[in-house]
Amino acid sequence: MSRSTISVFKLSEMFPNEEAARQYIEAYRWPEGAICPHCQEAKRIKPRKGGYYRCNACLETFTVRTKTIFERSHVPLHKWIHAMYQLLTARKGVSSLQLAKELGVQQRTAWFMLHRLREACGKDIAMLSGIVEMDETYLGGKEGNKHEKNKLNMGRGAVGKTAVIGMREHGGRTKAMPVSTVDQASLFTAIHENIAPGTMIHTDEGTGYQGIDEVYGHESVNHGAKEYSRNGVSTNSIESVWAVMKRGMHGVYHHASKKHLARYVNEFTFRLNEGDVKRHTLERLASLVTACFGSRITYKELTA
């Protein structure tokens, strides 16, 4: 597809109702015909009215919503697709209040929908490789909206905020995750779980990175000495990710609790990995729809 987008009007023409959206989602979940999500039976499936199916192997009834983020949601599927469109095309994110107005639903419903979508955004398990820039930042918390001079600083972070470790592959994907503290143990865990051995890692001069060169290549720049780039070594790329996240957190979401921060981070990294406006909107939409399969979080889990 060409590098272009589609308008909200065009999206509404493509998905005017529940049936159109259901057929679209089914085509990505079951390209060769419905498969029972309960027992994985593919042959003994009987279609019923209204998008329902009956599995004659386990005798369960199911729809394309079963075992997805859409399960037990009363929101029509075409509104879910509109929510995905908003999440994908808004570079800094979309608030639940704004989405509620767009969809004609309650703000609480829009909030729940967005968190389910963010949960789906966190499925990237592929290891990073090549050259990877790595850095840490601090997000969320009530300190976020204060003027810099009024913030309570503590070491490399800020009181009331949550540490986030980020990794960005040159010409590739981004991963980021909140951690309880930034120390050598948490940094090494993040590296081993997300970066392939032998990868060249670029960092700042932080002491927590000492020793990673036993398994990985490692080059650093000394920010304390005003060194930000040297012979192609820098952390400028991952720092640009923090800039986007912070603009979204401050300008759109205003506040994110520690409990929910990982899902907000998932949203930003998913949008970056899907290329923002560099890929066609429908390609990005298909990626998010596919990520929705097998993911589900309940309202009780979100609010407990």
CATH for 192: 3.30.420.10
- Per-residue confidence band for 188, with pLDDT thresholds at 50, 70 and 90: very high
| pLDDT at 67 > cutoff 90 | yes
Average pLDDT of span 61-67: 98
- Per-residue confidence band for 149, with pLDDT thresholds at 50, 70 and 90: very low
In a domain, 125, yes or no: no
In a domain, 38, yes or no: yes
- Per-residue confidence band for 151, with pLDDT thresholds at 50, 70 and 90: very low
Both 160 and 62 in a single domain? no
Quote the domain boundaries for residue 215.
131-273
In a domain, 1, yes or no: no
Q: What b/e sequence results for 201-226 when a residue is b if at least 16 CB atoms lie within 10 Å of its CB, and e otherwise?
A: bbbbebebbeebeebbebebbeeeee
- Per-residue confidence band for 223, with pLDDT thresholds at 50, 70 and 90: confident
Both 156 and 244 in a single domain? yes
| pLDDT at 251 > cutoff 90 | no
- Per-residue confidence band for 145, with pLDDT thresholds at 50, 70 and 90: very low
Both 67 and 156 in a single domain? no
- Per-residue confidence band for 198, with pLDDT thresholds at 50, 70 and 90: very high
Both 135 and 263 in a single domain? yes
Both 139 and 237 in a single domain? yes
Domain count, the chain: 2
Give the model's pLDDT for residue 3: 52
- Per-residue confidence band for 148, with pLDDT thresholds at 50, 70 and 90: very low
Give the model's pLDDT for residue 228: 80
- Per-residue confidence band for 112, with pLDDT thresholds at 50, 70 and 90: very high
DSSP the chain: --S----HHHHHHH--SHHHHHHHHHHHH-TTS---TTT---SSEEE-GGG-EEETTT--EE-TTTTBTTTT--S-HHHHHHHHHHHHH-TT---HHHHHHHHTS-HHHHHHHHHHHHHHTT---PPB-SEEEEEEEEE-SGGGGS-GGGS-EETTEETT-EEEEEEEETTS-EEEEEES--SHHHHHHHHHHHB-TT-EEEE-S-GGGTTGGGTSEEEE--GGGT--EETTEE-HHHHHHHHHHHHHIIIII----TTTHHHHHHHHHHHHHTTGGGS-HHHHHHHHHHHTBT----HHHHH-
What is the chain's mean pLDDT, rounded?
90
- Per-residue confidence band for 161, with pLDDT thresholds at 50, 70 and 90: confident
More confident residue, 65 or 147: 65
In a domain, 2, yes or no: no
Q: What percent of the chain has pLDDT over 90?
A: 71
